[in-house]
Structure 1
Amino acid sequence: MELINQDITREFSDFQVFHVGSGFSGSFVSPIAETAKKLGIMVIANEVYGHLAFGNTPFVSMGVFGSIVPLLTLGSISKRGIVPGLRLGWLVTSDPNGILQDSGIVDSIKIFLNISSDPATFIQGAVPQILEKTEEEFFSKIIDILRETADKCCDRLKEIPCITCPKKPEGSMFVMVKLNYSLLEGINSDMEFALKLAKEESVIVLPGITVGLKDWLRITFAVEPSALENGLGRMKAFYDRHAEKQ
């Protein structure tokens, strides 16, 4: 069992390099449920970006495999509504065989919720209005904007030789890109790149090392197209200044 766990951990560690913004079919997600069943473990599915899929692959919730393995699904109102800071979410259990209930996991979650602080009252008060009165057109517009800015982001990144985008995003609002230090002078880590970029160009990107992905950057494209264009232009200027001199 130890060897199996090591292999699974290694596979999932490699997988997360490319998971940001990627869409996966049911045939890809199904083996995850089957593997969890074989190992006798539950699955925690973070699906806060489930409604922000805009690629050719439809979003597949892990919840459809609830009959195979017990699931905890995480959701959030702040991502779909594009309202950062509205810290309100939910947990949904898929447990037709009662495994989570019998093992005490559901009771543990309830106890934790009883001792943790609730969202601010004004946020709770806004939720009914958000859920009942937000038109579908609002969400469709968000998807259209994200699709446009994702395309623009990937196209403009091609103009920056030290950055490689392995895959165009199909969802969420972020893309992970790889850094090539051999094309830069005086920059030897993703943290150093991010700090200098912020200082010199007032552009903020997340160093991959902060989420366990050394030599990568996380870039958000959930901004107005004109602002994204400006930010990527500054990143290109930053590269031009720090490019290795031949």
Structure 2
Amino acid sequence: MENGSKKWGFQANKSLSTASAVTVRGVLNVLLDNLNKEDTRQLIPLAHGDPSAFPCFRTTTVADEAVVDAVRSAKYNHYAPTVGLLPARRSVADYLNRDLPYKLSPDDVFLTLGCTQAIEITITVLARPGANILLPRPGFPYYEARAAHSHLEARHFDLIPEKGWEVDLDAVEALADENTVAMVVINPGNPCGSVYSYQHLQKIAETARKLGIMVIADEVYGHLTFGNSPFVPMGVFGSIVPVLTLGSISKRWIVPGWRIGWLVASDPNGILQESGVVESIKGCLNISSDPVTFIQAAIPQIFEKTKEDFFSKTINIMREAADICYEKTKEIPCVTCPHKPDGSMFAMVKLNLSLLEDISDDMDFCLKLAREESVTILPGVAVGLKNWLRITFSIEPQSLEQGLDRMKAFCQRHSRK
């Protein structure tokens, strides 16, 4: 690059454009840019899983007061330790221990800037020349983005919609080789709304052990279940295979903007310690940002004092919303929902393009829906499944019904005559 006679020695890192080519945030921005500014109707956001914008999903006052107390104490205006404040790490360990057959210690817990930083740290630690990682399809595209950024090859195994979006374990075995380092399991599922049974998770653990790989358990939606299957953490099977558990308070406490999460070595046999993975996690945290100290300080009070009725209220609203979503999509002739959501905040529906005119694919559908109806829905291509749609139902039930009614009207208007 030249400017006059001067040759500049810098240029952009082009790999960043490749790594971030398809992300939820990027696609959302495209949809929002495509809205009809002359449409006076309220935008109905069925594309973004952030219920905190709606009054019915307000977090508990216990959490609010815990943060206020931490700030007013003036004890937490300092830098946080690399791995996080000890009382907060101890509280996360105790919180997870409620569901485990063994006991985590604070030394197993590393606090992160939400679950996204936990993903970043995990991918960075596992990346090495020639290595590959197994990711679910559909899945959360941030894994692909971080893998591409770290030059870690991503290989995709399918989730089976007819079996409640269970992992295709035969595909996992076929994909793995001597350079495979891990497989990612998202449970409860984003984008599918699936909740895996104890038996299926055990089979996943046994398969990973057979292949000699770890399991990365993304449990950011942990305990947000409202179907027949209870939430079972992957760490239950830590004695079979080493597990890195990723989580946060973002979803269960409805505070995604607080950016507090964790990365946990769920590994009673100490394999992650012996292999140097734990030490690498600490090294990676040494060169990255920390979650806000006063939010860390609030964690013990949040975990100890939140009452069960707060969680029950959230679950009841989610159950009602999931029912609305599943039943109303039956009224829309161009889409099919193969599995009623059992957890998280999402449903995947298949788009039947043969029934529509002037719609080329799922992205085209979502762009035109946004422009014509002021409704945003995430195209399946953003989560790895073209010509599907991911619908977020974590909004007020009345708004959800309105949004799906607008989607129905859109489909009727574009249906083949």
Q: TM-score, normalised by structure 1?
A: 0.90
Match status 1:233 vs 2:405: yes
Paired residues of 2:205 and 2:241 also in contact (CA < 8 A): yes
Q: Which residue of 2 aligns with 1:139?
A: 311
Is it true that 1:112 corresponds to 2:112 in the alignment? no
User: Which residue of structure 2 aligns with residue 206 of structure 1?
Assistant: 378
Cα 1:204/1:228, change in 2 over 3 Å: same
Q: Is the 8 A contact 2:136 2:159 kept in 1?
A: no
CA distance in 1, matches of 2:387, 2:294: 41
- Measured against aligned partners, the alpha-carbon deviations of 1:193-227 in whole angstroms (never above 9, x if no partner) come to 11111111111111111111111111011111111
The Cα of 1:122 is off from its aligned counterpart by: 5.4
Q: Per-residue deviation at 1:134?
A: 2.7
| Matching residue of 2:217 | 45
- Partners of 2:374 and 2:294 in 1: CA distance: 33
Deviation at 1:81?
1.2
Residue of structure 1 equivalent to 2:145: none
The answer on whether the counterparts of 2:238 and 2:267 sit within 8 Å (CA) in structure 1 is yes
SS at match of 2:360: coil
Amino acid at match of 1:49: Y
Structure 1 147/97 Cα, relative in aligned 2: closer, same or farther at 3 Å? same
Q: Structure 2 counterpart of 1:229, which letter?
A: E
Q: Which amino acid aligns with 2:246?
A: L
Please tell me whether residue 73 in structure 1 is matched to residue 245 in structure 2: yes
1:13 pairs, out of 129, 133, 157, with: 157
Which whole-Å deviations, capped at 9, do the CAs of 1:171-197 have from their partners, x for residues lacking one? Answer: 001001100000111111111111111
Which stretches of structure 1, 4 residues or longer, exceed 4 Å deviation after superposition?
7-12
Q: 1:69 to 1:46 in 2, by over 3 A?
A: same
CA distance in 2, matches of 1:142, 1:136: 10
Bigger drift between 157-166 and 90-99 goes to 90-99
Q: State the one-letter code of the partner of 2:157.
A: S
Higher helix share: 1
Worse-superposed segment, 103-112 or 93-102: 93-102
- 1:83 is aligned to 255
| Higher relative contact order, chain-length normalized (CA < 8 Å, sep 6+) | 2
SS of equivalent residue, structure 1 residue 21: coil
Q: Does 1:180 align with 2:352?
A: yes
Residues 238 and 268, structure 2, Cα contact 8 Å, conserved in 1: yes
Instruction: Confirm or deny that 1:217 pairs with 2:389.
Output: yes
What corresponds to 1:149 in structure 2? Answer: 321
* In structure 1, C-alpha distance between the alignment counterparts of 2:246 and 2:229, rounded to whole Å: 21
Counterpart code for 1:232 = L
Report how far residue 12 of structure 1 moved. Answer: 6.4
Task: State the shift of 1:111 in Å.
Answer: 1.3
Alignment correspondent of 2:59: none
Give the CA deviation at 1:152. 0.7
State the SS of the aligned residue for 1:13.
strand
Q: CA deviation at 1:124?
A: 3.7
Q: Report the Cα distance in structure 2 between the residues aligned to 1:139 and 1:83, rounded to whole angstroms.
A: 13
| Aligned equivalent of 2:364 | 192
Equivalent pair of 2:336/2:351 in contact (CA under 8 Å): yes
RMSD (Å) for aligned C-alpha atoms: 2.3
How many angstroms apart in 2 are the aligned matches of 1:180 and 1:129? 49
Distance 1:230 1:129, change over 3 A: farther
Of stretches 124-133 and 189-198 in structure 1, the one that deviates more from structure 2 is: 124-133
Q: In the TM superposition, what are the counterparts of 1:49-60 in structure 2 within 5 Å?
A: 49-60=221-232
Q: Which amino acid aligns with 1:68?
A: I
Deviation at 1:13, TM superposition (A): 2.2
Q: Structure 1 196/122 Cα, relative in aligned 2: closer, same or farther at 3 Å?
A: farther
Alignment-mate amino acid for residue 207 of structure 2: T
Structure 1 CA distance for aligned equivalents of residues 410 and 301 of structure 2: 44
- The residue aligned with 1:32 is 204
- Fraction of identical pairs, as percent: 68
Q: Which has the larger radius of gyration?
A: 2
CA distance in 2, matches of 1:144, 1:64: 26
1:243 matched residue in structure 2: 415
TM-score scaled to structure 2, two decimals?
A: 0.55
Q: Distance in 1 between matches of 2:293 and 2:271?
A: 34
